[in-house]
Amino acid sequence: MERSTWSKVDDEAVVIARALAMDSVQKVGNGHPGTAMALAPVAYTLFQRFLKHDPTDSSWLGRDRFVLSCGHSSLTLYVQLFLCGYGLSLDDLKSFRTHHSLTPGHPEYGHTNGVETTTGPLGAGISNAVGMAMAARYEKGLLDPDSETQLFDHNIWVICSDGDLEEGVSGEASSLAGTQALGNLKMIYDDNRISIEGDTHLAFTEDVAGRYRAYGWNVLEVKPLPDGNIDRVALEEAMIIAESTTDRPTFIRMHSTIAWPAPHAQGTAESHGSALGADEIAATKVLLGLDPAVSFFVPDHVLAHTRQIINRGQALRATWENDFERWQAKNPERAALLERLRSKDLPAGWEKVLPEFPAGKDVATRAASGKVISAIATILPEFWGGSADLAGSNNTTISGSKSFLPLSSAMEGADPYGRLIHFGIREHAMGGILNGIALHGLTKPFGGTFLVFSDYMRGSVRLAALMNIPVTFVWTHDSIGLGEDGPTHQPVEHLASLRLIPNLAIVRPADANETSIAWREVITRSKPTGFALSRQNLPVLDRAKFASAEGTAKGAYVISEAKGAAQVLLIATGSEVSLAIAAQELLEQEGIHARVISAPCLEWFEETDMAYQESVIPSSVKARVSIEAGVTTGWREYVGDAGISIGLNHFGASASAGTLFQEFGFTNEAVVFAAKESIAKAAK
């Protein structure tokens, strides 16, 4: 975007932005004014002079992305959205941090127009931005691999704080960004040396710029002006260099003074998260040349000036649309692909590529998942992903795929548009990067690690669920069935813990065919999902004898019906379904009719209507046993007062899978005993 000469009105707009940050926090009585005040010239310069965007079309495919990683300073973003004309009004700023407002305490994706991702947990925005930058490159490979156009070239801009860079997830993601040579990623670090507890040197004294140089980033330094204000001219010069740097990501270390120019609050920890107070705001407004008695003052001529970005944005988009039409005419197949990706459609009959697994051979569900992943990839080019250095164990390698690595990489099989992502041993960043890829909008990412390490990435998983974005987490080695690696690697509490996250579906399939159907559902539903897959081989159930695996789509189904009126319900997931079926046979030999229910995804089951739920778990049958190799928390809802839950309410041990299942009571006999006990309880 062509940059005009900086004017006096631009100076006025920055002053107004600082004042709006103070007034918004003061009105509600809480918030984070200091950073938003200091960052006003940074955000204004970015939105008015660098970002390629159109406020009248926030979903424009050709736009740059902006991520405010320090989400607590949400007013930094909201004020610019207001000034640019994204639909926020002055009244929205006045209702900052109040119920039902469009200006919540932290930016929320899908809630406020112009917000590209939900930020607040520090460091998360940086990992999201890395994902967006990776997605931009991968999508470029789908649509313009020979770089015949710049239609699909855009930048990802980030503003981050000291706190963001203290969080480990930012280091994980930034390290990978350097390896990936993401030249479309530009990050401005607001180095103000202030956090809630005071000077950041209490805990953060490293050479941050040196660290980013070591990561392989282009590092630029912007010193402050003598009065402590940001040197906006020097910053703009650095941003111009960043914009022209395309062979690696750019890190701009910008020194600032929090709450500048407040006479007493500037440079203090108190200004980070508290309203400045009426007297301090009045004194600051005097310094800014404003009337201290007037709040939320926005002169018409200033707003008219800042809203000119709409005209510039629409002109940029019109030029882009003209170029896009020419590209469409020249590339009809790729244009058709893009149209499908934008509309979120799937190719007709795509599911026919999904493998069916014959009975008679035991297959680990992780292995089955790997075959399904490769099959899906043959028909959905938007489907890509990898693992946190566990691809061989997670079975997340797409057959025949090259590695997603830059042209500068010396690694064998490197391809800037490859489909296999090597996240390295960086689970938390992997989750945040997957979120960023999904947020970018066109592709369907997945990432794998062991289920026990979902703990490392829980923050990112939670944000995926909060934003309701189509990310798939492939977690393998789902129980004590992984055996000799012992309790450090054996997930016990993880299934229950992950099921507590709202809007996240957890799928633990019983066999290879349930795995295949579950993947079909995941691709179709486009919601956040986590797989829990077995390391050990599981029987592929004979579907001529047992119910079709299609029942997986409903989350739970009767996989083996009782031979008479059911006296007890055996509800199992994953590897324990076969155990329940074996126990059913033993019970039948004693004249006890048991129904076996496979429940691969309780969240999907809860989405079905009450009539279906009643048909699977009839309220008239009070005797129930749940069987799952994990803690029993959560199963009381399904087994009721007379029910019994067979689980593992303690940590595992290092031994073979068979030994552990026997030792910890996952046996046919234990299920039979529990069934009889539940029947007896129900009869009382």
- Is there a single domain that holds both residue 299 and residue 422? no
Structure tokens given for 87: 């639909």
CA distance 574 to 538: 9
Is 276 inside any structural domain?
A: yes
Q: Is residue 108 annotated as part of the catalytic site, yes or no?
A: no
- Is there a single domain that holds both residue 144 and residue 261? yes
| pLDDT at res. 684 | 86
Name the residue with tokens 């202030």.
194
Residue that finishes a domain, picked among 293, 314, 335: 314
User: Which tens digits make up the pLDDT trace of 97-146?
Assistant: 999 999 999 999 999 999 999 999 999 999 999 999 999 999 999 999 99
Is 404 inside any structural domain?
A: yes
- Is there a single domain that holds both residue 13 and residue 67? yes
- Is there a single domain that holds both residue 79 and residue 222? yes
Domain count, the chain: 3
Backbone φ and ψ of 108, nearest 5°: -125, 120
Range of the structural domain that residue 572 is part of: 549-683
CA distance 445 to 382: 8
CA distance 279 to 285: 10
Is 84 inside any structural domain?
A: yes
- Is there a single domain that holds both residue 287 and residue 368? no
CATH number of the structural domain spanning residue 309: 3.40.50.970
Question: What band does 1 get if pLDDT is binned at 50, 70 and 90?
Answer: low
User: Which tens digits make up the pLDDT trace of 306-361?
Assistant: 999 999 999 999 999 999 999 999 999 999 999 999 999 999 999 999 999 999 89
User: Which tens digits make up the pLDDT trace of 510-525?
Assistant: 999 999 999 999 999 9
User: Which tens digits make up the pLDDT trace of 597-624?
Assistant: 999 999 999 999 999 999 999 999 999 9
CA distance 71 to 164: 10
Terminal alpha carbon distance of the chain:
77
- Is there a single domain that holds both residue 121 and residue 38? yes
- Is there a single domain that holds both residue 176 and residue 236? yes
b/e string for 356-395 if b means 16 or more Cβ within 10 A?
A: ebeeeeebbbbbbbbbbbbbbbeebebbbbbbbbbbebbb
Residue that finishes a domain, picked among 261, 294, 314: 314
Tell how many helices (H) and how many strands (E) occur in the chain.
26, 20
User: Which tens digits make up the pLDDT trace of 349-393?
Assistant: 999 999 999 998 999 999 999 999 999 999 999 999 999 999 999
Given the residues 427, 521, 576, 628, select the one marked as catalytic. Answer: 427
Is 319 inside any structural domain?
A: no
- Is there a single domain that holds both residue 555 and residue 511? no
pTM exceeds 0.85, yes or no: yes
CATH number of the structural domain spanning residue 585: 3.40.50.920
Is 328 inside any structural domain?
A: no
